[in-house]
Every structure is written in structure tokens, then in C-alpha cells.
Structure 1
């Protein structure tokens, strides 16, 4: 028997992410308590709860760290929610935002920032913000036309903006110009905080830590730690003063792993999401789908080429001021520095000024240097630049680390992934769309190394597509010829922008049924992110009109055919949906369920995935009052798996079970077995399971989905006759 899994704080069994809004606050969450308890989760995971812009639908635009958000019910509403949840055996996880605050409109909405704009470096809040005080004034990018700012008493007004008057300590500049402060990616309305300063840390965390001490909050999710000056130091300080379960929103790519010296319990699970998605994608679909994509779009075959071009473009478009500030700290050749940023394959290498450079960190940056050298003129000072960003002055090291993330996020997440999409289910945060599929053995090897405390997920508020949209898209990897024929038919009827049309057809089918407003909203955002025809900074009203026409015609003229195609692949998509859900919920770690995804959800990127959830429908289904068969099956898998997790030792080892290519199966210690169908089209084409069987571990096993008992060697045709998955509990 293994030793019991123990840590000096409570680790959630599972979490349920809720998106708080002015229309859905603490009281509305409290009303869900009985439902969530019966669903099987142990903790409710709240989106940011500190005071933000009053109309904010996400809460990451914090304006005041001293208050719980009034629109949700304030501190008393949160305490009441905690008490109600506790009565039902549920706890609270809070999402915190240490990296930035908002620059609101009017700017007086952020009192700390207003003080800095008014009094400059003499302000008691001057140390809060990561400001470049070169020249004595901070650039505020707001000017967008020929209108002159107007003095109004002690306020300077420009349209809806307001600044202290006179303008002694700031400078209003064109909105396209880089600001005089570190921002969140390219978002000038979010100003970077200096939480590395102990006084700033204490002031911005006082309320949250008070709630932890009070027992209202049981755990923390840290937003975007890569933006901080020193993530390791921040997490160490946070753990020392909070002492609760903590996960970090860290995007891991490929073989990258969470730094071993981070004092947290794991990530928010994007690396798990991407591994699970690939498990249900057929590698054989790679060549025909890439060819189909290239034919329709004219884009390169090579994803890496698109990434390189995209990073170059976003640096030129958005990050000139940041590169200038970094160049001033690093010195040397600016173009060499730019090429090094472009070549970085991850969000950050984690070098701490004044400490020996970790071998893995040095190897990442040095390898990027070799890639950069191949693109630069002979004699470019690559080695010197690499050495400066690894071992140079503290400002050079930190600024380089902090700029790598924005270049990756804007160049890859928000540009390349909207340009290169042969199979869009692979285009997820941290995903590698050029890497089709994965073997069961590779997945088992990954899962065996997973921590029992890290978070796992399939959908989040930031995913490009919900899990069930990805489940449908994964089927296309097994049906490239049928998909090519369908797209050919639709494209012959309706076309608009070659760089966008093929993405449109994938998402129209995978999110079906979807109305014109939702579909247009998604495509308009996708077009602006891709930046091939329009962008956020370069709108084109004529393009917008044309896109609306495309959306209307695509749905009106091709909607029936799209619906027919979606219906035709439904058995396979349903299999993928249930399979990936079961795998995620039964892996080691703390499974997170994004609100509403206990049944089918066909949402696209935000804000589409932050729409209100129909909880009355979910309660009705939970009560067994009919519904869509896919919904019923997904709810059954979710509920049974979450409740089984309550009876399962979180440290139960992951034990792969031998099965054929169309199955992924594993045991969790001696208590649970999960079996899921994969690549269901290929399975059907070969005539089903035939004589294939699976040997269960010793003992008697009860299928929680069907009620049937099994022992020994079981034919898969029997085990998976009702559902494409099986969840077995040992007796």
C-alpha cells in the first residue's frame, strides 16, 4: 500500500470555474450550491473578485485592490457565498491578478494611478507601477484624432478620458504609440504592477490574504505569472503568507516543464488539454488536411515559417517601445535582439539576476541564439547579446524575460494560430498545430509523471474553442476526403477572404447550430487577430460589410448542408467528447470543469465562451427529465467521475492498461479503471471491436455508467456496447 497523500493544506478534489459578471454575482453562485455538490465538485473556482471596471465581464481589469467587487455583492456577499457553499461541503478558489491593473476611462477610476499622474515620482503610489520615467514624464497613449484636450478646472478632458490638470507628470500621445509603462501584452489599458516590491505586494494582496486567513478562500489561481519580474520569488512569497493550494497560469510548450523551484502546486492545465486533444486526433490526417488548408488559403506548408513571420510583425506593430527599453538595458545591436526574441520557443527561460543561470535556461536562450544567427548577417553580435540577457545587468535580464511572453502570446496565440489552421482543434493556447496526433504510449508516459496537485482542464475562459467543438474537429482528421468534398461544395457557393474562409467552415460546422451574430463576432475577431486583411489597429469598414455578407450567405445557403455534415459525424464526435472528458476527469491532478461543460457546449473564443449558462436546463437533465442523448451521456460521465474522485486517493498511481490502438485505458491504483474509445471512424471502418478484449486488474469491477459487473478479461464489444467509455470502480 502506498503512503497516504498529505500536504499541509487542503487540496481540492475538483473545481468548477464560474464566470462572475454584474448579472451573475455571489448570490447567483450561492443558489447553485446544491447542484454543484450533487455534481461532485469540491470547490467553486471564481473569476477575479476584486473591484474592477463596473461593466467588466471578466474582471481582469482591476481598479482597486482594497475592495471586493461591488457589482457581485461586495465583501458581505462573498462571505455569505462562502458560508452557503460550506454548508454544502464546498470551498472557494479565487483567481488573482498580480501582474497588472487597468487604466480606466475616465482615468480617475484608478485612484492609485491618478495619484501617480498627478504627482509623478512624488506620489506614494509611484513604486506601484512599472513606469519608464526617462524624461520625467510617462507617455499615455490616448490621442486618436485632431480634437484638442480641454482643461476643466483641475481636470484635463479628452473625449471620455480625464487626467489631472496641469499635465506636469504625464504626456498624452497617439494611441498607436507604445506607452511609457510595461503593459499586459499589447493592451495599453492594462498597466504593469511591481509586485516584486514588498510594499506593493502587501498592499495589493492584503484583502485576498485576509480572506484566506478568515477561511473564506481556500486556494488561489495566479494569473499570468510570466509577466512578473521574478515569478519564482513571487510564488515563494505568496505561499509563505497564504499557505494554501496554489496553481499558476503557466503555458508549457512541447517538452517544457514547470520550473522545479516554483512554490506552487502546478499549472492551470493547458499542457494536459493539448495532450488529451492530440490523443483523439489521427496522425494520418496530417498530410491531406495540410494540403487542403494550403490549397484554400495559399499559406505555407510549414507552421514554423508562419510563427516566425507573425512574431516579426507583432514586434514591429506593437512592441517597438518595449524593444527600445530593452535595447537600452542590453546595449549592442537592436536587430540581433529582435531576432533573438523571435527565435525564443517558449514564454520565458526563468533566469534570475545575480544567480547562476540554470542549465535548462541557458540551453533555451543559446539555442535561440543559434537560430537567430542563421538569419542575421555574418558577424552579428549574437553570442554577446545572449550573454547579456542571461548574465548582464538585472534590468537587461528581467526586461528580456518579461518581453518574451508578450511576443509569444501576440505572435503565436493571437496571430499565427489564426493564420495556420489545417485542423483548428490543435490551435489551442500552448498547442502545436503542426503536431498531429499522438500515440497512446506517449500519453501514458506523460500521465504517469503528472502531479496529484496540478490542475487539469479541457475548457477555460481563454480557450480558443470549447472541448466539444474540438471533439467535432478531431473527427476531421479521420475523414479528410469527406471534409474536403464538403468544404469544396460550400466554398463554390460562398467565398470571401481566402485567408479566413477555411477557418470559417471549420468553426461553422464544429459550433453548429450557431446564429449569424455569434458567427460574425467570432470571425470578425479572428480576422483582426490574423492581421492578414484587417487588424485591431487598422479597421476597414468595407471588409466588415463584406464579412457580414459572407456570414449571412454561408448560413442561409450552406446551413442545411453544414447541419447534415455535423449530424453525420455526431456519433464519432460524441465518442471523442465522452472519451476526452473521462480521461481528463480521471487523470492524476485536480480536474477543473468550466461552467456549463458538464453537458455539451459548442462555444468559440471569448467573449462567446463567457455567455450565460442555462443552469435550469442542467438541473432538469440532472433530475433525469429527458434531453439530448449526448447531453445525458456527458452529464452521466461527468457526475460519476467527479463523485468517484471523492472516494479515490489523489495519490493513486496511474497504471496504463494494455489495449488496442482504438482504446486508451488506465487504472488509478486499485480503485478505478477508465476506458475510452479513440479514433472511432477507423474503428467503425474496420467493422468494430471484433474479438478485442481488455484484461482488468484483479478483483470485481462495477461499471458506474451501466451498473454491470466485470471480472478478468472482457470483450471490448461488450464493455463498450452502451457507451464509448467505461468507468469502473473496484470492490
Structure 2
């Protein structure tokens, strides 16, 4: 078993399975990664493009090559000194599975009834599938309703699809039923394949999907660590602001969204906030206060999606559904980390109390129950917070409030413009040494290079406003959507009308201001398509070309910082070269290998990525992090640090390149640690104090390795 030094995330699909992964082993080895990080590998819904809808935990997915294909892939990767990290989904599975069918047939007496988090109502579970006046048809021992099939007779009742299910689900997705991973039988039953892969030494690491949905994340992680032998494990935990992962969670860290948002902030100019917020509010009519938009969005999604969850919580804590909804909407994080039977952590008490302070007195009984109440009350409150945050913030508010949409990322706060080098250094000082870091994932709202372009706008808001004014004079559609459209059209350029339309349709449905997934409007959607087709014909590319030198600087800087900062860096498929993808499914499109540079930007990014990954393999696993500080008038334009006890590596990146271009580096210098340093990007040797104009004369970044003569 080897601890990952770096990972490369691959999205498995029926078209890209284990055999295709094996074919690129040599390419990934040469790139410099230590481990291949795979999307879920267990049997899922046929044709699934993501694999988070598992239907059978006892089998490796046949569409990918099954057990035989997995072994062959693992052997091939091992021959190239590459390990495997697996993505696990312990919180839920698809309802189209044999175990749940047995529960529907046999009811609470089924041996599998304990597997699922079901609320039995008179011995029956509500299934939200009815959508019209069509009558279900009995066909032997099967009840059919459109494409749905259920055992007949059974322990269920069919209800309107808007009503919600009689079981805990993943967010608002009723086809994904919550598992009770806190039950040892369920944990081992759903992890049996994973455990034998670990036992055989075929897997070196685990990524845990959505731990906030679990009744007891801490207990789950403790059991997993005990059974896995302490394998490297990270959790998909979204941390907001100063929030940190609980120290008593038995894992190595998160999947890196908090690192992503810090790195992103380094390249955003805080001076751009006022003019960009003014532009946004003038064009959209939205208020200046993002927090008000966020709170309103959370209340809306509670009303739209989470009636069953709120009612179940209200019953558990003996309060009104209105009071439960009010406190859930006020919660600023995805979980409060309270464990039944234990005194709540001080931080948890502060979070819940501060949220309650913004609410009516009716929530006070719920506060006590959420912090000190029964296990049912505490757990139900914990499990309800995450879905409200995810749907209210990620999938609603971030599509309504977007003065600079590179800030509208998972775990991001779009009203916080910019991060200083000092703040970044402070963050790195507190980073768990083996936590994952990332810039792009299968769930990010836009790729790292799209964000790199958008960050430039914070340095030139007036020119951007003029460009938007010109385009809007030629084509306009919906004031709540147009400004988001212009940002992403420019930043993803060139983009086809089809891809752009797909993005705008999703954005409009998530925003829920004109249409939604539940409330389609064919006329609106037709006009949206016409807008997208007209917009891509405008000369938006001229503006993109004008800023791309600065965007390239941001892109290379963010990449180098993420790859060299503390933690285990992940590279999302294809992002070793430029990638201008938008939100899924756009960012899950097939990627061709090997990546062949087509532009100067591609070549530079591939060079930075490969050299940094290879250098990371030469560094000690948890190399100390030492901030370096430039001196001179342009010192704010650099972020620099060393890695290693006796520093072995130095990373230097340019910040805020537009303002830098106006003033130049001048006499600004950086003092390197003692010794001689080899430049892995531009070549040459450096020592002592060096002018940044010289160090960054070839590339806007520098990667140096100690070179003892």
C-alpha cells in the first residue's frame, strides 16, 4: 500500500472503461502522477455516465470490464508504478435495485429493510412517481406505471411525484435512496468489494462521496479506517469560510474545494468588487447583498423540494415545520458536527446559536433539540442541513448572484473578492499535509481555465462593462440570465451554440427565476436557444483574445500553486492542458489521450503540470511549507513559497497581471533560500536575491529545484 503523492481523476463511462484506462498508463506515468483516481466502479444504472447511482454493491460494473477488467487494469497500472484511488458512495443507491424491491415486496419484515432509511407509514413506504391520470396496471405479480415496475402486492403506496418519498434521499433526487451506513451489516454489505480490493493490494486510497448525508460520519470513518488498515482517505466535505474539518474524523482531509477557492482568490483583484457589483445590479435588478439572495433561495428550495424532510425533522423535535424550515435556511454550513450523547463542540453551538439569532423565537426549542436532544432529533437536523445548502446555495443562489462568476464555485462565497498572499500563507500553514487539493472536478461550476479568464475581469471592469454593453445592444433575452451568459460565453470561447445552449438551459433551470426543472416553459426555452445561437455569432472572441495573455498567467499561476502547495494535488482529466468546460455534463465530455498541445498556453500548462508533478514525487511526503516574500513596489504581484525542511523546491507565480503590465516589475526582487536553484521551466541556475523581471521573464511562473554543485 502506497500513500498517494498526486492523483489524476478519470471519469469512467460505458465508452471509457478499465481497458481504456490501462492504455494510457504510460502517458500518466510520464505526466508524473502517482495514482489514478477513478469515479465509482460498482454496478450502476445501465448507461450511467457518472456511476453515483449504484444498484449492486456486490459487483464491479460490467460495462467497464467487470472484475477481470479491473484486475488487468490494476496490473497494467502497477507495471508503470501507478496506484489506484476509488470513489465510494456510502450514503445512497439507486432505487432500481433488487434489495429495495425485496423491501417493497416484504415490507418491514424484509431482512433488507434495515439497509434503507425508510419512514414506514402503516407498514407502507410512499413512492413519488405519479404524474398524470394514468392508472397503474397489474400484470401478474408486477404493478406497472409507465416505465416503473413494482412488486404486486407490496408494502408501498404510489403518490404524486411532487409529494416526496417516504425515505431519506440524496438531496431532492427521489431515485437515490438513503442507506443506513451506521449499521455494521449495511456498511460491510455495501463495501464488500472495496474491502477485498484493499485486501488484495489493488487499491491504495479512497474518496468518500457526500459524508454529510450519513447519520454518523465520524463513526463511519472510524469503522472504515479500522477495516481498511488505515488506507489514505479523503471526504467530499464542503467547508465554508473559516470552517475546518473536525479533527476527530478518521480521514486525511477533504477533496479540496476549500483549497480551490483559496487558490482562485489569489488571482482576483479586490478593487474590482465595487464596479462589478454595480454593473451586475444595474443589469440584473438583483440586490447588492448576496446574503439576502442566498437566504431567500434557501427558503424557496425548502418549500419546493424538502417538505418531507422538514416534516420528519419537525416530528423528531416536536416543533412546527415552519420553525424547522426557518432554522435550516439560516444555517451557514452543511453540518454542525453534533454527535448524539456527547456534549456539542463549542464551534457547533456557536454556529447553531448564531443562525438562530437571525430567526424568530419559535426556533428556540429546535435549537435545544438540535444540540442536546434525542439521537433522532440531532441526526435528522444534521442530515437536513446539507441538502438545503446544496440546493439553496450551489444550485440556486450561485445562479442568481454573479458579479464575477469565477467566485461562484462549490463552497465559494461570491461576495468575497480576492485573497492576499498573507492570507493564503496562513491557510497553507493550517492545511492537513495529506488532504487533497484541486482546481477542477466533475462537479465544479466551470473549469479552472474558464475561471482564469473570468478573474481578469476583476482588473478591468470598465472595459468589460463596455464590451457587455455592446453585445447587449445587439442581442438580449432575460435580464436575470444575460449577464451570466456574457461572462461564460467570453470565458469558454470558442463554444458551439449547442454547448452554450445546454449551459444556459441548466443555469436558467437552476436559478428558478423564469423556469425550473419542475416548471418548464417551452416558449422561454425556444427563445433561450435563439439567444444562444445569436450570441455565439457575435465577435466575443476579440475580447477573449485581448485578455488571454493575462488569463494564461492566471491559469499557470493557479496550476503551479495548487500542485506545489501542501496536500495531495489532483489533476482532473484533460486539465494538464487548457480546458474551457462549463458545469456538468459539459465538463464530463470525453477526453482524448495523450493530450497534444495545440497552443502556446497548452504547451506551457503541460510543462508546468508535468514538471511540478515530477518534482512532487522527489519531495518528502509532507514537505514543510515556507512563505517567501518579495521586496519592491510590485511585491503584491507575486505569490512565492518553498517546500522542504531544507528547502528543496521553490514555486513563484504572478498575481494580478493586468495591473502588473501597467507598472512592470521594476526593481522588485525575491530572495531565494541559500543554495543554487535549477529552473525547471525556463532553464538556468539562480542563487541569492534575483530580480523578478529576470526570474519571470520567460514564463509568468517559476519552479525551482535545489541544485547542489
Fold similarity call, TM over 0.5: yes
1:383, distance to aligned residue in structure 2 (A): 2.7
Instruction: Look up the match of 2:138.
Output: 151
| 1:590-605 pair list within 5 angstroms | 590-605=568-583
CA drift of 1:326 comes to 0.6
Other-structure match for 2:37:
45
Partner of 2:614: 643
Shift of 1:653: 1.1
In structure 2, what is the Cα distance between the partners aligned to 1:95 and 1:307?
Answer: 30
Match for 2:304 among 308, 311, 317?
317
2:623, 2:370 → 1: CA distance?
A: 43
Deviation of residue 448 (structure 1)?
1.6
Is 2:699 the partner of 1:728?
Answer: no
How does 1:186-335 map onto structure 2 within 5 Å? 186-243=172-229, 244-335=231-322
1:569-592: per-residue Cα shift (whole Å, max 9, x none)?
010000000000000000011000
Deviation at 1:135, TM superposition (A): 2.3
CA contact (8 A) 1:588 1:650 kept: no
SS state at 1:346 partner:
coil
SS at match of 2:677: strand
Distance in 1 between the 2:244 and 2:111 partners?
39
Q: Is the Cα contact below 8 Å between 1:424 and 1:503 reproduced in 2?
A: yes
Residues 281 and 438, structure 1, Cα contact 8 Å, conserved in 2: yes
From 665, 668, 686, give the equivalent of 2:640: 665
Q: Whole-Å Cα distance in 2 between the matches of residues 62 and 333 of structure 1?
A: 35
Cα distance in 1, alignment partners of residues 561 and 362 from structure 2: 49
Offset, 1:134:
2.4
Q: Partner of 1:681 in structure 2?
A: 658
CA distance in 1, matches of 2:310, 2:512: 21
Shift of 1:615: 1.2
Indicate the SS of the match to 1:24: coil
1:572 aligns with 2:550: yes
Out of 19, 25, 28, the residue aligned to residue 33 of structure 1 is 25
For 1:324 and 1:651, the matched residues in 2 are separated by 47
1:280-330 deviation per Cα after TM superposition (whole angstroms, max 9, x unaligned): 000000000000000111001000000110000000000011100110010
For residues 660-688 of structure 1, the C-alpha deviation after alignment (integer angstroms, 9 at most, x for no partner) is: 100000000210000000000000111x1
Q: Does 1:64 align with 2:40?
A: no
SS of corresponding position for 1:309: helix
For residues 19-39 of structure 1, the C-alpha deviation after alignment (integer angstroms, 9 at most, x for no partner) is 000000000000000000000
Q: Tell me how many residue pairs correspond in the alignment.
A: 700
Asked if structure 2 preserves the Cα contact closer than 8 Å seen for 1:129 and 1:193, the reply is yes
What SS is found at the alignment partner of 1:661? Answer: helix
Partner of 1:383: 364
* Structure 2 contact 2–83 (Cα < 8 Å) conserved: no
Shift of 1:79: 0.5
- DSSP-derived class of the 1:566 partner: helix
**How far has the Cα of 1:332 moved from its partner?**
2.5
Instruction: Give the Cα separation in 2 of the matches to 1:223 and 1:301.
Output: 34
**How many angstroms apart in 2 are the aligned matches of 1:303 and 1:721?**
40
Cross-structure match for 1:4: none
Q: CA deviation at 1:546?
A: 0.6
TM-aligned CA deviation for residue 601 of structure 1: 0.2
Q: Aligned match of 2:94 in 82, 91, 102?
A: 102
Provide Cα deviations, 1:437-476, integer angstroms capped at 9, x if missing partner: 0111001111122122100000000000000000000000
Equivalent-residue separation in structure 2 for 1:590 and 1:454 (angstroms): 6
After TM superposition, give the deviation of residue 390 of structure 1 in Å. Answer: 0.9
Partner of 2:691: 715
Is 2:677 the counterpart of 1:696? no
TM-score (norm 2): 0.98
CA distance in structure 2 between the aligned counterparts of 1:236 and 1:122, rounded to whole angstroms: 30
Distance 1:223 1:333 in 2: 32
Pair 1:22-2:22 in alignment: no
Question: After superposition, what is the alpha-carbon deviation per residue over 1:489-535, rounded to whole angstroms, capped at 9, x for unaligned?
Answer: 00111111111000000000000000011000011001000000000
Secondary structure of 1:38 counterpart:
helix
Structure 1 segments (4+ residues) deviating >4 Å: none
Aligned residues of 1:103 and 1:113 also touching (Cα < 8 A): yes
TM-score (norm 1): 0.95
| Offset of residue 277 of structure 1 | 0.4
Q: 1:552 pairs with 529, 533, 555, which one?
A: 533
Partner of 1:583: 561
**Are 1:482 and 2:457 matched, yes or no?**
no
Aligned pairs for 1:399-418 (under 5 A) are: 399-418=380-399
Aligned with 1:527 (options 500, 508, 530): 508
CA contact (8 A) 2:84 2:204 kept: yes
Alpha-carbon deviation of 1:381? Answer: 3.4
SS in structure 2 of the partner of residue 381 of structure 1: helix
Matched with 2:585 is 607
Give the CA deviation at 1:336.
Answer: 2.1
Deviations, residues 585-628 of structure 1 (Å, cap 9, x unaligned): 00011000000000000000000000001214x1x44xxxxx31
CA distance in 2, matches of 1:141, 1:502: 37
Give the match's secondary structure for 2:186.
Answer: helix
Q: CA deviation at 1:203?
A: 0.5
Report the CA distance between 1:208 and its aligned residue.
0.6
Secondary structure at the counterpart of residue 545 of structure 1:
helix
Equivalent position SS for 2:115? coil
Deviation at 1:384, TM superposition (A): 2.1
* Equivalent residues of 1:277, 1:580 under 8 A apart: yes
Residue 437 (str. 1) matches residue 418 (str. 2): yes
Gapped runs of 5+ residues in structure 1?
A: 1-8, 105-109, 622-626
CA contact (8 A) 1:576 1:677 kept: yes
Give the C-alpha shift of residue 117 in structure 1: 0.8
State the distance in 2 between where 1:370 and 1:135 align: 38
Contact 1:329–1:396 (Cα < 8 Å) also in 2: yes
Distance in 2, matches of 1:413 and 1:382, equals: 25
Q: Once superposed, what is the RMSD of the aligned Cα atoms? A: 0.8
The C-alpha deviation readout for 1:202-253, integer Å capped at 9, x for no partner, is 1001111110001111110000000000100000000000121000000001
Segments of structure 2 that go 5 or more residues without pairing to the other structure are none
